[in-house]
Structure 1
């Protein structure tokens, strides 16, 4: 790191500010115990105030009265202030009481202070084995050459066959106490680090959501361009690198077989006397992973729902002046968000209010009455069925994307007609429109306006339907192009 970069991090990083704070020992001890050690992801203000009050009482009794003279509420307000950034204060649904959660800065600061402890044993061998395994996954997992993959699989099979032969002869290697301790220490560090990363994952999801909202609030183009921008990024949270990695981890964690295997392996490893001392947190670490993962998943779902409502407001109320005023206020707030309050200035319309005297107002004039004849009115009948207004069709684009990828493995390019011929439409026009809006990193989509093709399907009533659309061509992307597109995003 360069000198200027370190100076910038020192001024702006919340974890560094925490370590420099006057109450850093209280911050690290209290927040580390409540939010890191106990894995609390959400706590009400009354509960947190009660816990901090007990902590302050014990410290003042031991260190002397007046060591921490302020009230617990005052400390929490200071730690949750924007210029501190150590606690996230927010409101949950159906509750008028604030709730708190620690920010990733607290996790990083607590982990760094813990790393300063002297260690009588440092694992090295297991880390080297992990390095080899990761490099093999990278090299052979990205190779498209069948011969390379077959060679690696044969090598692994030969090693397994050799181990089987040796085990049948009774000749096998048993890990000694040092090797077991080496590997258990690495498991402990990775398990705790993985649990700590969930708060940063949630914070990154909120940052992605905030960036999309800012883009919508400050948009100055046409409505069509805005919708094109939003529809193209409708999966900005779930399709990000962080979102894909988290979803893959969460799907793996939800496997009942994997959870049972993990629970048995952890308990058996801790049963070895020389492997490690008993640690209840590590014994049930997979439950903490599930709780943290479920909360992160709920955060993604809640942000997606809020963003969808935000877009609905933008589409339906775009022409109303009240929305223009609100967006203007939001845009101004984003502009002055990072400025110091001392430098903030704002102009007002008038230095004094306008006064309207009562005698200047016109006298009351009664409105003219209109006679309404209500004789001869008959009940009308509705034209058409209203049930169709309540029927909604949702087409999942994931199977369609997988179908395009499947055909592109055998061909460099395929058309929409080829896709429909291979996989007939099951949801009619809605599925056809979804095909037209597909986007994926693995292939590109081209509309040929000069040529048209007909798409046929059978609706729910058994009638044949035909749509004439421009020719749509899906072409396979190279690995370099897909990587470049992801980096540009």
Structure 2
């Protein structure tokens, strides 16, 4: 083993080791650890774990969650009518569990809805998973996990092998094994069948992986939501130029798709959206659940649909960041709603200040609202009815001259075809070369304004890279609404692989 390998192993061991300060910080700050320290942790894990995690539910309206919790509390409090162990209402418990100090539920208003919703947080998943692992399992799958580990190692070594002869030798070896299995089955039709123990072993491994995958989606969604929240905070507190902020937001959007987590999620999402793959999963699950050797978990019967729903919620978070970019680029709205944006930013800045100060309020901080209540009017204070004289009303109104008003702006939508932009780049940039974006735009002038420029900046393709450099700048002139415009950006280089 050379010195470089020793250093890599030492660095990996150091990165996987937690010291005393890290453990102490997790104990005080991590929501999952705080959950386990609460006195009514059994209530939280038994209800939320059963309702969300074991029930396979996503975000639910507040009234449905509160109704289910009320039934759960009634069952627990019924044996102790004089001193119930959980005296608070379901709404109070839900607000406590979704607070910033707890963080076990996510409380939000979905797009297009004015009703409050609750969803399980990743911290709840971690705590519930650890508690579930403490239970005694009568049967533990080992053979299938070993085979899975070996198959993964084979995929890694074969997928990173540069010598094509080695890969061809491995494929020929697999073909010989398949030919031997075919010959064996032709001689003995019962050859190669799994015994009941092997079937249960593999089903347990599948069930565990399926639940873990559904659980991981909540954590991936939370990571993407954290990036979305960071982008919103930058917009609310930004004090520089609009061009600099736009460049920062484009980098944030690009980081989502270029990280290992983003690439892995996108590959899974594309694979899951395949209709052929959906039909194959449905057929395989139906056949497995007909086996007598398996004790089926009915919640996993439609697990692939739960995967699709969870992946769509995660993808929606990524779309919200793109929507922030689109709204930010709309110059007309920026001018018309300038005062509204200033007020919203002041409120967001104050909210961020309160959150960062951990609830410590400064003097005179807050909002003033009108006193709400029902006014009391005595009967004798009401005036008697008085007959009002008739008033002459002239309803004849002169008809103004008809004007031709264009209503196309009400339904017009701007859609930038990134596939067309990629074709234009391939027509200009040969493979292995690079050019400036302004040179491309000189050959293909901008037709759709700033949205088309953003389309170039956020373009990600298999053989095209759009790189924003720190040094130098790019000036792009274009027409929008019949008026000349000029965009100043950092130096943008288009590269072909």
Q: Please, what TM-score do these two structures have when normalized by structure 1? A: 0.72
**Residue matched to 1:369:** none
Whether the aligned pair in 1 keeps the contact of 2:77 and 2:84 (CA below 8 Å) is yes
Whether the aligned pair in 1 keeps the contact of 2:457 and 2:466 (CA below 8 Å) is no
Matches within 5 A, 1:450-465: none
Please state whether the residue corresponding to 1:88 is helix, strand or coil: strand
Whether the aligned pair in 1 keeps the contact of 2:98 and 2:106 (CA below 8 Å) is yes
**Residue matched to 2:200:** 181
**Residue matched to 1:43:** 60
- The alpha-carbon deviation at position 416 of structure 1 amounts to 8.4
Corresponding residue to 2:432 among 405, 412, 420? 412
Structure 2 CA distance for partners of 1:446 and 1:179, relative to 1, 3 Å: closer
Corresponding residue to 2:291 among 262, 272, 286? 272
Cα distance between partner residues in 2 of 1:404 and 1:160 = 45
**Residue matched to 1:13:** 30
Whether the aligned pair in 2 keeps the contact of 1:318 and 1:324 (CA below 8 Å) is no
Cα distance between partner residues in 2 of 1:386 and 1:145 = 64
Whether the aligned pair in 1 keeps the contact of 2:97 and 2:105 (CA below 8 Å) is yes
Q: Does 1:396 align with 2:413?
A: no
Please state whether the residue corresponding to 1:89 is helix, strand or coil: strand
Cα distance between partner residues in 1 of 2:91 and 2:35 = 18
Question: After superposition, what is the alpha-carbon deviation per residue over 1:358-380, rounded to whole angstroms, capped at 9, x for unaligned?
Answer: xxxxxxxxxxxxxxxxxxx9999
Cα distance between partner residues in 2 of 1:268 and 1:134 = 26
- The alpha-carbon deviation at position 249 of structure 1 amounts to 1.8
Q: Does 1:138 align with 2:138?
A: no
The more displaced of 287-296 and 314-323 is 314-323
Structure 2 CA distance for partners of 1:8 and 1:157, relative to 1, 3 Å: same
Whether the aligned pair in 1 keeps the contact of 2:285 and 2:301 (CA below 8 Å) is yes
Matches within 5 A, 1:303-452: 303-306=321-324, 308-309=326-327, 312=330, 316-317=334-335, 320=338, 323-324=341-342, 326-342=344-360, 344-346=361-363, 394-398=415-419, 401=422, 411-413=431-433, 437=457, 440=460
Please state whether the residue corresponding to 1:100 is helix, strand or coil: strand
Whether the aligned pair in 2 keeps the contact of 1:213 and 1:307 (CA below 8 Å) is no
**Residue matched to 1:215:** 234
Please state whether the residue corresponding to 2:118 is helix, strand or coil: strand
Cα distance between partner residues in 2 of 1:397 and 1:43 = 35
Cα distance between partner residues in 1 of 2:195 and 2:186 = 21
Cα distance between partner residues in 2 of 1:411 and 1:94 = 45
Cα distance between partner residues in 2 of 1:80 and 1:313 = 37
TM-align CA RMSD:
4.1
Corresponding residue to 2:311 among 282, 293, 303? 293
Cα distance between partner residues in 2 of 1:55 and 1:473 = 60
Whether the aligned pair in 2 keeps the contact of 1:397 and 1:438 (CA below 8 Å) is no
Cα distance between partner residues in 1 of 2:317 and 2:413 = 25
Structure 2 CA distance for partners of 1:317 and 1:379, relative to 1, 3 Å: closer
Cα distance between partner residues in 2 of 1:124 and 1:407 = 56
- The alpha-carbon deviation at position 224 of structure 1 amounts to 2.2
Cα distance between partner residues in 1 of 2:176 and 2:460 = 39
Cα distance between partner residues in 2 of 1:188 and 1:108 = 17
Structure 2 CA distance for partners of 1:76 and 1:194, relative to 1, 3 Å: same
**Residue matched to 2:382:** none
Corresponding residue to 1:84 among 91, 102, 120? 102
Structure 2 CA distance for partners of 1:90 and 1:145, relative to 1, 3 Å: same
**Residue matched to 2:222:** 203
- The alpha-carbon deviation at position 59 of structure 1 amounts to 0.7
Q: Which has the higher contact order (CA 8 A, sep 6+)?
A: 2
Structure 2 CA distance for partners of 1:46 and 1:158, relative to 1, 3 Å: same
- The alpha-carbon deviation at position 13 of structure 1 amounts to 0.9
Structure 2 CA distance for partners of 1:194 and 1:63, relative to 1, 3 Å: farther
**Residue matched to 1:454:** none
**Gapped runs of 5+ residues in structure 1?**
349-376, 448-470, 478-489
Q: Please, what TM-score do these two structures have when normalized by structure 2? A: 0.71
Cα distance between partner residues in 1 of 2:180 and 2:99 = 62
Q: Does 1:106 align with 2:124?
A: yes
